Amino acid sequence: MNDNDRLINSEAYVITQTDYGEADRLYTIFSRRNGKIKAFARGIRKSKSRKAGHLQSLSLIHLMLAKGKNFWVVTQADTLNPYSSIKNDLAKTANAFYIFELIDHFAPENEPILSLFQLAKETLDRIERESDLFLIIKFFEFRLLKSTGYMPNLGTCVQCGEKILPQDQYFSAEQGGVLCPKCGLKGYAVRKISLPALRYLRFIQRSSYNELEKAKPTKEIQHEMESLMLYYLTYITEKALNTPAFIHQVEKTTKKKRNDDQGN
């Protein structure tokens, strides 16, 4: 066993944390060097712990870890980017937690996926400095699906193989793509998808982030896309995701506050 197997020195994000015993904490960490790992921090909940201030969710941190018996053990933690504008904005916070929830589902343990780490970092940088969360999140979801092999098939019917024509279609999460109207009507647990939403999905699939910024979809298409992605991601992760409901609640509260402010 060489040093590389016993020590980690890497950029990382905290995905989850759970209190353990009197003063310790167990973390799920997403690191550039080793992917998703479990890490243990001793005495972290004691007031004099220097690491505590740095081992935070929603911060890019630099971690040093040593191989313990069952887990990696945190030996040093430093903040590289505190993402203050995310932490000061509830909608940004909710969306950043959504990114980590998806990474937790999709990233295998102890397997570095550099492209996924890079994607997470770019996405959080965008959430930190930009305001159009819809674009940022949709771009992230599609790149995540691509890097984990779940990109939906949008060109031909996943049932009969016919080319998809420019009309309203169906979408099957189980079959991983679009169904033509003929197969869709007979399909099980399928969703309708409008032609404009399908066009926008294809646009996301083939575009860079800069290209996406030039063509923003209408509110109706945004809602349709959000509902469709939630249906697809819930199917893939085999689990109801927690953060979308939180994001929805934050949006509702923000909207109500805006209306109240305008009314006064």
Q: Which residues make up the interface to Zn ion (CB under 5 A)?
A: 157, 159-160, 180, 183
> In this structure, what token pair is assigned to residue 259?
């209306």
Q: Give whichever of 72 and 170 is closer to Zn ion, judged by the CB atom.
A: 170
Identify whether the C-beta of residue 178 lies closer than 8 Å to the C-beta of residue 159: no
For the CB of residue 198, give the shortest distance to Zn ion in the complex, in Å.
14
Question: Residue 190 Cβ, how far from Zn ion at the closest point, in Å?
Answer: 11
3-state secondary structure of 189: coil
What are the Cα distances from residue 87, in Å, to 24, 25, 77, 81, 257? 24, 22, 19, 12, 19
Q: Which is nearer to Zn ion, 96 or 183 (CB)?
A: 183
Between 66 and 165, CB nearer to Zn ion: 165
Show the tokens assigned to 105.
């589902």
Separation between Cα atoms, residue 228 and residue 257, nearest integer Å? 28
Work out the number of other CB atoms within 10 angstroms of the CB of residue 130. Answer: 13
In whole angstroms, the minimum distance from the beta carbon of 191 to Zn ion comes to 15
| C-alpha closest to that of 209 among 135, 154, 151, 145 | 135
CB of 168 to Zn ion, least distance (A): 14
Nearer to Zn ion, 149 or 161 (CB): 161
Are 180 and 160 within 8 A, CB to CB?
Answer: yes
Q: Is 254 helix (H, G, I), strand (E, B) or coil?
A: helix
On the CB side of 150, CA atoms within 13 Å amount to: 20
Q: How far is the CB of 10 from Zn ion (least distance, A)?
A: 47
For Zn ion, the closer of residues 186 and 248 by Cβ is 186
Of 66 and 160, nearer to Zn ion (C-beta) is 160
CB of 236 to Zn ion, least distance (A): 22
